[in-house]
Structure 1
Amino acid sequence: MSAVLCSVTARIVTALNAANGTGEHETAMRLLKVVEEAGEASAAYIGMTGQNPRKGTTHTPADVADELCDVIIAAAVALHSFTTHPPAVLNAKLHAAVRRLGAHTPHPTH
């Protein structure tokens, strides 16, 4: 998953670099986009659970899942600003998380 995610986001990064440049401001904006998307995921969850009595239930689990995907994409795009090897960094982090849980990662089958 992580190699595919980083491959696709590399294309997004190329387009963003062409449109917006690669300076410090753009790097900050990409990082802030992760926070923005996380806020939208949180808002969708609040809407799904009906926690705002004035609005009621406004979202579905599918809406939350959609917003979480946006968080993942934004984070993967931002990751490209902080390393030249996003797939390796993400894979290492995923495997470290599994080790902390004491779980084992299955070997992918092709």
Structure 2
Amino acid sequence: MDEIDAPDAIWPTVERLRAWLDAANDRPAEQEVLLRVLKLAEEVGETAQAVIGATGQNPRKGHSHTWRDVESELCDVILTAMVALRTLTPDAEAVFHRHVDEVSHRAFS
């Protein structure tokens, strides 16, 4: 896949990922939305596992991950959420920007 050079290229990449996933499944659209939202739980769990590994919380496994692994897992969470949002609505980019504006208004007003 091409490297993303500008933030503006993220949503077209999300769209390509959504289309790729759609082409690879034969489930009803409603089921696919649910499964993509549930995929977030898996990715968050992998992030938690990486944090536990980076801090050495599991004495049996020790330091099994790095903070770079945590960064990567967080990126997976974000990207998975973006694909799930795009699966839910074709206006995902506008919905996301509107939500960021609302959150920043509440935080900084």
Deviation at 1:81, TM superposition (A): 2.2
For 1:69, the equivalent position in structure 2 comes to 75
Instruction: Percent identity, please.
Output: 42
Q: Which segments of 5 or more consecutive residues in structure 1 lack a partner in the other structure? A: 104-110
Deviation at 1:5, TM superposition (A): 2.5
Does 1:4 find its partner at 2:9?
A: yes
For the aligned residue pairs, the C-alpha RMSD in angstroms reads: 1.5
Deviation at 1:24, TM superposition (A): 2.0
SS in 1 for 2:88: coil
Q: Which amino acid aligns with 1:78?
A: A
| TM-score, with length taken from structure 1 | 0.84
Q: Which amino acid aligns with 2:18?
A: V
Runs of 4+ more than 6 Å apart: none
Q: Which amino acid aligns with 1:17?
A: D
2: distance between equivalents of 1:24 and 1:83?
12
For 1:84, the equivalent position in structure 2 comes to 90
Does 1:55 find its partner at 2:64?
A: no
Number of residue-to-residue matches in the alignment? 102
2: distance between equivalents of 1:66 and 1:9?
17
For 2:103, the equivalent position in structure 1 comes to 97
